[in-house]
Amino acid sequence: MKKYSLYLVAVLGSVLFLSGCGNQNGNDSSNGALASNNAEKVYVAPGEHDEFYAFMSGGYSGNVAVYGLPSGRMFKEIPVFSQFPTNGYGYSEETKPMLETSFGFVPADDSHHPDISQTNGELDGRWLFINGNNTPRIARIDLKTFETAEIIEVPNSAGNHSSSYITENSEYVVAGTRFSVPIPQRDMPIKDYKGNFKGALSFISVEPETGRMDIKFQLIMPGFNYDLSHPGRGKSHGWFFFTTYNTEEANSLLEVNASQNDKDFIAAVNWKKIEEYVENGGGTMVPANYTHNVYSDETHSATSTMKKEVLTVDPTKVPGAVFFMPTPKSPHGVDVNPTGDYIVGNGKLSADLTVFSFDKMIAAIDGKKYDGEAYGLPILKFEDVLAGQVKSGGLGPLHTEFDGKGNAYTTFFISSEVVKWKVGTWEVIDRKPTFYSVGHCMIPGGNSRKPFGKYLVSMNKITKDRYLPTGPELEHSAQLYDISGDKMELIYDFPTHGEPHYAAAIPASILAPKSQKIYKLAENEHPFATKNVSDARVVRDGNEVHVYMAMIRSHFTPDNIEGVKVGDKVYFHITNHEQDFDVPHGFMMIGQKNSGLLIMPGQTKTSVWEPKKEGVWPFYCTDFCSALHQEMQGYIRVSPAKSNIDLSWSLGE
């Protein structure tokens, strides 16, 4: 398909050139030739692959979904913060610890802003980070297995929204609180919010080899709402920028009361300076409770550890570390261009974008030209740091991405459009409608030094009439724009699962070759693995029964079990002996008050079943695995609690 289309483009291009036709991209008519050209752009022929992977957050699904671009085809839903009966995540004994928190087991969350790990400011495709907004957590997904590898809870945070953005060498993944709260949490009147609640901005270190996360420090900031953030890069590497709203510190009817100030702030945080401060013994270690959950591909199991303290930093104790830049109208996104020169504030109740200059910011800081202070932190003068304003003509700017060719693309929620403008001159080049009410947009690598400026995806909040109606509830609508030319072209619509708040995309050529195909059975270190069918067995320990079971096309070893009694707690520890790509097996047991399992080649998973009734009860494979899949089944005889039938098990006898 690629060869043909290149050929087509080449021939068509020269024909057009010879006959002196104008620029197709500039032509807005819905001519048939143009429409077929768009179809060609998004058409990925049967058996062909997409050019990009896009990871889109699932919002209230708590998960991440993987799509191909330009086709919009969904490849996988990766369970992260939510139980996922499709494969048993959060139900199997091995994965339950992943969802442990200081509040106990939490089965769901609201995932928001995925970000791909970087090296030297470029996407390296090792890990994907994503924040749980509701019960504050950060997850790391391994991009070899496309599975959640680690989740760390963030204490002192609430509404973990200005997260999970990473610095340009993946030194830190940053998690800021949207809701300020009492720190430490305590029983106090809500009306005493102002001056008493605080906002924690957490810098979570990422171990360079393993990706392992640890909270290095928490910056305890004034009680504003920290909405979004982005790292500096290039010359501004070492800084992190956070938008704030509700600098009014209202605690009720924020819809009105948090929109009183003409300007809120972008907080500029010199994290390198704070890192130095804590490495020299600065900061205060305070008691806290937060879980750190780690999954191992060797044991195929997660462990959950409760951490007991966290290092906090009072920003007023680190001079030169934190400054506020006044930004109009409750800014949402704060975005840094690929060279790191400019910081874009998207004032969501404004028509204009405010762009700050990093150089001017440094000059203002060096000149100590302040416009006052907030809770002891210096406020820079708006005019001193302003680089320019984009007079967009739109309404409600939310978020800006960059194409690496000197252009920026800003979404406007209220006026439902994407506006393309030039970095440096601030002139508007193009605008295209979105359908409808766009939130964030995404360009592959658009939050890095090296964007791949070919496509832009808008993630729209309202779907209405874009697809066949499916009752009152509709999937959200994403739109794909070709941004390779001067003008943007809307070329495709596709529905997305849950509510994608943001996405991150990467060329398939970086990820696909590294994608893992199987787990090696020989490397399986699961304590209940059955690595050899001659070890398949059933063991009783009081009223616990452990079934060491193996599966391969198309039978279970063993498949007949007797001696189980009413009131027992039966653990099925099932090992998939396949070593071939894409041959998972499933498992379900009648009456199981749990999800089934989907077990990958070489993997062991465990499901619990508590038989309540005497009888002979079947189990079977739920994933169509071969011509004899329907034969892949077994029986368990359940006898009365007081019976004295010995445990026995067999296959083919």
Partner 1 sequence: MKIVIRSTVIFFSLLLMACGGKEEKKKEGFSVDREKTKTEKPVEAVAATSTVSPSERVDLENKGVGPIKSVTLSPDIDQALAKKGEEVYSQMCMACHRVDKKFIGPAPTGVLKRRSPEWVMNMILNPEVMVKEDALAKELMAEFNGAPMANQGLNEDQARSILEYFRTLE
- Contacting positions for partner 1 (CB under 8 A): 4, 7-8, 11-12, 15-16, 19-22, 31-33, 36, 518, 520-522, 531-534, 550, 552-555, 557, 577-580, 583, 626-628, 652
| Smallest distance, partner 1 to C-beta of residue 548, A | 13
Cβ closer to partner 1: 190 or 627? 627
The Cα 52–Cα 66 span in angstroms is 10
Cβ closer to partner 1: 188 or 628? 628
Cβ closer to partner 1: 32 or 513? 32
Query: How far out from the chain centre does Cα 616 lie?
Result: 44
- Of 139, 501, 458, the residue nearest 332 (C-alpha): 501
| Smallest distance, partner 1 to C-beta of residue 479, A | 25
Cβ closer to partner 1: 286 or 518? 518
Cβ closer to partner 1: 196 or 554? 554
| Smallest distance, partner 1 to C-beta of residue 86, A | 24
Cβ closer to partner 1: 354 or 557? 557
| Smallest distance, partner 1 to C-beta of residue 585, A | 11
235-269: string of b/e by CB count within 10 Å (b at 16+)? ebbbbbbbbbbbbbbbbeeeeeebbeeebbbbbbb
What is the per-residue DSSP string for 12-61?
HHHHHHHTT---GGG--S--HHHHHHHHHHH---TT---SEEEEEE-BTT
| Smallest distance, partner 1 to C-beta of residue 533, A | 5
Q: How far apart are the first and last CA of the chain?
A: 53
| Smallest distance, partner 1 to C-beta of residue 583, A | 7
Cβ closer to partner 1: 506 or 561? 561
| Smallest distance, partner 1 to C-beta of residue 576, A | 10
Q: Scan for tokens 């066949």, then name that residue.
A: 468
| Smallest distance, partner 1 to C-beta of residue 592, A | 24
Strand stretches in 341-414, DSSP E:
342-347, 352-357, 370-374, 377-380, 386-391, 397-402, 407-412
| Smallest distance, partner 1 to C-beta of residue 321, A | 53
The Cα 362–Cα 151 span in angstroms is 36
Cβ closer to partner 1: 144 or 555? 555
Q: How many CB atoms lie within 10 A of CB 386?
A: 18
Which distant-in-sequence residues (6+ apart) come within 8 Å of 351 by Cβ? 391, 392, 393, 394, 395, 397
The Cα 425–Cα 413 span in angstroms is 24
Q: Scan for tokens 């007797």, then name that residue.
A: 562
The Cα 146–Cα 271 span in angstroms is 30
Cβ closer to partner 1: 287 or 513? 513
Cβ closer to partner 1: 558 or 563? 558
The Cα 414–Cα 420 span in angstroms is 16
Cβ closer to partner 1: 252 or 630? 630
Q: Scan for tokens 């009105």, then name that residue.
A: 256
124 close to 118: Cβ distance less than 8 angstroms: yes
Q: Is the peptide bond between 184 and the residue preceding it cis, with omega within 30 degrees of 0?
A: yes
Q: Is 24 exposed, middle or buried (0-12, 13-18, 19+ CB in 10 A)?
A: middle
83 close to 90: Cβ distance less than 8 angstroms: yes
225 close to 199: Cβ distance less than 8 angstroms: yes
Q: Scan for tokens 């000197």, then name that residue.
A: 406
| Smallest distance, partner 1 to C-beta of residue 234, A | 43
| Smallest distance, partner 1 to C-beta of residue 44, A | 15
